[in-house]
Amino acid sequence: MINRDRQWQSHMEMAQIGATPAGGVCRLALSDEDRESRALFVRWAEEAGCTVRVDRVGNIFARRPGTEKELPPVMTGSHLDTQPLGGRFDGAYGVLAGLEVVRSLNDSDTQTRAPIDVVVWTDEEGCRFTSKTMGSMVFTGMVSEEMVCEVLDPDGKSFGDELKRIGYAGSEPCGGYPIKAYFEAHIEQGPLLEQAGIPVGAVVGAQGQRCFIITVTGEEGHAGTLPMDQRRDSFLGAARMTDAINRVAFEFDPVPVATVAHVQVRPNSRNTIAGETKFTIDSRHPDADTLAALEEKMLDACRDIAEDMKLDIAIDRTSVAPPVSFDITLIDSIRNAAKELGIQYMDMFSAAGHDACKLAEIAPTAMIFVPCEKGISHNELENATPEDLAAGTKVLFEVILQAANS
């Protein structure tokens, strides 16, 4: 059975890598901290008897063999990279829950027919390079390995070079083989489970997402000498656009989410008018048509502001992810496992994006959520209880066992 304290201990040890003073974690994708967290996972997985493979974009697969070698694996996992001011559980929970399942199977000497792969996906967060879920997108054939390896971080370092630098440019081809089932355990990152006092969410799907980089170009000028009415201030334009994006979102019912949170200003000097401002938009909604309508209204508003202010605007749509429905058979197996274990559960939707949303394209997929304190995530204060983490892992254990033996 699941060992609550062992799982918690592993979490606390993992959380020391990239620990921030306020109790959070900073492990940006392909950083030294990412390397260190990967190495710890690999050590633990090997100690648990797993064979570790790394693919060409750095996804790590720790395999516990099945009795029938040729059966497709049951896969579970998540990510170890974090936001710059991230928490201890976003991502790490899914990886360590998978590891705890393997350790528990070992404790009771339980064999499964199909192999079990615990996976660490590369760069789920997408805050260092351009796009989220890089590793799982290559694995599922949505983007090419070459494209991902060429992507640059803000310092001009490429994904491919950084992957080599940290020693995780593996030799295995990315994906291309069948997967029996993919389960991902994750903290909810929202308040619903905690408010309901329920420890497990059976996740039925995830909302869609569209992301953009907007480049606004004006003209540099002297902050002291250029009269206000003669300026083409790209940052002022971006600020007005940000406000308009927020206003447009409130025109929909239910209100979608739209976020501007990464801004790069050139030359970023306090006494030069900003010649160029780049900013990101992250927009999400469970309904595909609403998401498309939101895009049109937001971008029209930005174009109108640019025209009014005599600024140039370039719009790059960096990702489009449709709303996802998870596999009904696997969702049912999560509900049933919770019932049989006497653990309360509720059906819910994921408001965040996950590697599971990509895996759903190629394999039967479902997610298990557990509560996090006050729903706080992407924040150093992110917290969860050992009991809730263990409850989700108990359900994970049952559904993996069932999928691997059916």
- 352 vs 86: CA distance, rounded Å: 14
Peptide bond into 21 cis (omega under 30): no
Q: Determine which residue in the list 125, 382, 388, 398 makes contact with ligand HGY, applying CB under 6 A.
A: 125
Kindly tell me which residue out of 58, 353, 371, 392 binds ligand HGY, with binding defined by CB under 6 A.
353
Report the partner that residue 123 touches, choosing among Mn ion, ligand HGY, none (CB closer than 5 to 8 A by kind).
Answer: none
Size of residue set near ligand HGY by CB under 6 A: 6
Q: For ligand HGY, which stretch binds (CB under 6 A), given 61-69, 123-131, 303-311, 336-344?
A: 123-131
Report residue 297: phi and psi, to 5°: -65, -40
CB 214 within 8 A of CB 279: yes
CB of 240 to ligand HGY, least distance (A): 25
Q: Does 324 bind ligand HGY (CB under 6 A)?
A: no
Q: How far is the CB of 103 from ligand HGY (least distance, A)?
A: 26
Applying CB under 5 A, among 91, 98, 126, 170 the residue interacting with Mn ion is 91
Cα gap 101→121, rounded to integer Å: 18
The stretch among 66-74, 97-105, 118-126, 391-399 that binds ligand HGY (CB under 6 A) is 118-126
Sort residue 70 into left (φ over 0), alpha (ψ -120 to 50) or beta: alpha
- Does 352 engage in binding with ligand HGY (CB under 6 A)? yes
With binding defined as CB under 5 A, does residue 90 bind Mn ion? yes
Q: How far is the CB of 152 from Mn ion (least distance, A)?
A: 21
Q: Which residues pair with 202 in a beta bridge?
A: 347, 368
Choose between 125 and 388: whose C-beta lies nearer to ligand HGY: 125
Place of tokens 């979608």: 256
The secondary structure of 177-205, three-state, reads CCCCEEEEEEECCCCHHHHHCCCEEEEEE
- Residue 132's binding partner, choosing from Mn ion, ligand HGY, none, with beta-carbon cut-off 5 to 8 A by kind? ligand HGY
Give phi and psi for 194, each to the nearest 5.
-60, -45
In 147-187, DSSP assigns E strands to: 181-187
Question: Min. distance of Cβ 114 from ligand HGY in angstroms?
Answer: 29
Residue at 84: amino acid letter? P
State the residues that interact with Mn ion by CB under 5 A: 90-91
State the residues that interact with ligand HGY by CB under 6 A: 124-126, 132, 352-353
